[in-house]
Amino acid sequence: MKDNYNGALQQALHSGFNATSTTDDVIKGIDLSGKIVIVTGGYAGIGLETVRTLVAAGAIIIVPARDVQKANSNLKGISNVTVAPMDLMDPASINAFAAAFLTAYKKLDILINNAGIMWVPLQRDKRGYESQLATNHLGHFQLTAKLWPALKEANGARVVNVSSFGHQMAPFNFEDPNFKERAYETLQGYGQSKTANNLFAVELDHRGKSVGVRAFSLHPGSVLGTDLGRVAPMALFQQMGTHDENGNIYPEVAARLKTVDQGAATSVWCATSPQLNDIGGVYCEDADVAELDEGNIIHNYDDPTSLRGVKPYAVDAANAQRLWTLSEEMTGISFPAN
């Protein structure tokens, strides 16, 4: 069983899917009857579409939610879904959710760490940790650790981290991850949190594969119709050339964006595809394994189809091991993952 240390497996599988593939395309022929699934943030955007698709394939889904009322409203009418309270910025709530889950269920077949925040002003949790790092990585690290007994029990579980091309905005800053000594830049905070998603998948897969747990990270693509960037300053979008001076997205840019069901396709593919049975730790996009970006890919923010590839620093073995140790220290959790 190979792992993805230093991007060893970052080569396309020629899966047969592409940027226009939808969740219905990638789930075709897959039966999830009896499978237990958790999708964080599974009540909005691509998370909600992921839940819809997996339920239709027979899965039983638990959606941990910071806003339970909103989650219940958005998920109304979808069968076999249970909403439970959890806030990724609140370690006690993560522990409580995990404890309740382990009481109710013996196994967890699929954990999709989908929830996230992007380009927010500087905020800190009670521990003083920067909010994008706390929400996007540390909360999911803690959740995965607490749910580990159930993941092992599944005998073939998968953990899927919804990352982003945004990891290319910044490597992980091990010297000052919480912006205590440097000026806060939200793009840097977001970028390092997404790099952390990738590195976490690399090391989790390396440690977990011996007990039947494989891990993946992914870029969903640039998706029209989600609320992920709802608090981001318009100036950032204008700086990237995607919006005009009035804050309207350029029609030619909008035409290149994915629909929500296209955006969720890679999450569903990573969670369920038999094409990934024998590999793990890889960063995926467009329902396939992404190419290693060693400066050979030209990126233009006004052309979302060019935003692809994974940086070597985001699949580096030493970085993955170092982040694991730091995450244990920052969360106060021992997580051997074996």
Hey, which residues are catalytic here? Answer: 190
The whole-angstrom separation of Cα 205 and Cα 150 is 16
Determine the 3-state secondary structure of 62 from DSSP.
strand
Determine the 3-state secondary structure of 91 from DSSP.
helix
**What residues does 60 pair with on adjacent strands?**
36
Q: In what order do the strands lie in the sheet with 110-113?
A: 81-85, 60-65, 36-39, 110-113, 157-162, 213-219, 283-285, 288-289
Q: Is 56 exposed, middle or buried (0-12, 13-18, 19+ CB in 10 A)?
A: middle
> Which residue is associated with the tokens 């009540």?
43
- CB crowding 137-167: b at 16 or more within 10 Å, else e: bbbbbbbbbbbbebbbbbeebbbbbbbbbbb
> Which residue is associated with the tokens 């075709």?
28
The whole-angstrom separation of Cα 164 and Cα 133 is 14
136 within 8 A of 193, measured Cβ to Cβ: yes
